[in-house]
């Protein structure tokens, strides 16, 4: 009866905060923070450790700082993460969550018209390798979340020297490309396996109703290192 009404009853699934607690994570690196949705979810799930959010769009970062102001364990840094340090052009979308260092493909606007670029802005880009010791204290277990709209591979490139110090990584993975040069789920899953991670959790993010069948378009994959 519930399924006919559009509901599904399942046993409680583990959420990311369960993994953070089990692995003793003290700091979460929130790359592509946007308006702080991910950090707020962590707090709602009971995570009380440090969060360092990276958001490059000046207006969005300003709002994020206001949102984090009452949380002494939540730090905001106004920059993007990538393969090389410097500056880059960021394509700001009508709905800021779609903004990316990569240009959106026509398929992105077909999925959601708000993915169209309405402006561009020059932003600072840093490598995680270069700032890791500034944001992760000695002895802390760190978790890395990357949601950068098609630029996840570049963030991993810039973290090559420190990933062995990260106990888990969450990547937003695409089934079909929405951005130029975007690496899709199979390639990134294979890459994470080669780095010694295994899949711990999978969570659907968005579905595309425009292809004749409401199919999965993007999902979050949580990768973990086997306990030592």
Segment 30-67, tens digit of pLDDT = 999 999 999 999 999 999 999 999 999 999 999 999 99
Q: What is the pTM of this model?
A: 0.92
Interatomic CA distance for residues 75 and 71, integer angstroms: 8
Q: What is the DSSP letter of 211?
A: G
Q: What is the pLDDT of residues 171-213, one digit of tens each?
A: 999 999 999 999 999 999 999 999 999 999 999 999 988 776 6
Q: How confident is the model at residue 9 (pLDDT cuts 50, 70, 90)?
A: low
Residue 77 lies in a domain: yes
What's the confidence (pLDDT) of residue 133? Answer: 97
Count the Cβ atoms, other than its own, within 10 Å of residue 103. 14
Q: State how many domains the chain has.
A: 1
What's the confidence (pLDDT) of residue 3? Answer: 64
Which residue range forms the structural domain that includes residue 132? Answer: 16-85+126-224
Residue 101 lies in a domain: no
Residue 191 lies in a domain: yes
Q: In whole numbers, what is the pLDDT of the chain averaged over residues?
A: 93
**Residues 201, 16: contact at Cβ < 8 Å?**
yes
Residue 116 lies in a domain: no
Residue 6 burial class via C-beta count within 10 angstroms: exposed 0-12, middle 13-18, buried 19 and up: exposed
The CATH number of whichever domain residue 198 belongs to comes to: 3.40.50.150
Residue 204 lies in a domain: yes
Residue 151 lies in a domain: yes
Residue 141 lies in a domain: yes
Residue 78 lies in a domain: yes
């Amino acid at each position: 009866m519930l399924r006919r009404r559009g509901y599904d009853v399942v046993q409680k699934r583990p959420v990311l905060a369960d993994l953070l607690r089990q692995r003793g994570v003290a700091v979460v690196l929130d790359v592509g923070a946007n308006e702080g949705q991910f950090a707020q979810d962590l707090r709602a799930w009971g995570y009380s450790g440090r969060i360092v959010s990276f958001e490059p769009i000046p207006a969005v970062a300003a709002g994020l700082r206001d949102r984090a102001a009452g949380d002494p364990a939540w730090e905001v840094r106004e920059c993007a993460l990538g393969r090389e340090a410097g500056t880059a052009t960021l394509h700001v979308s009508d709905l800021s969550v779609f903004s990316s260092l990569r240009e959106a493909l026509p398929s992105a606007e077909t999925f959601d018209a708000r993915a169209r670029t309405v402006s561009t802005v020059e932003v600072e880009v840093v490598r995680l390798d270069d700032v890791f010791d500034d944001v992760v204290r000695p002895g802390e277990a760190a978790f890395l979340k990357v949601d950068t709209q098609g630029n996840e591979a570049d963030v991993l490139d810039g973290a090559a020297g420190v990933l062995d110090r990260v106990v888990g990584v969450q990547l937003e993975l695409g089934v079909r490309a929405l951005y130029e040069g975007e690496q899709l789920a199979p390639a990134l899953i294979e890459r994470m396996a080669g780095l010694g991670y295994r899949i711990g959790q999978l969570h659907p993010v968005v579905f595309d109703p425009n292809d004749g069948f409401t199919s999965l378009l993007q999902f979050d994959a949580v990768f973990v290192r086997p306990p030592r």
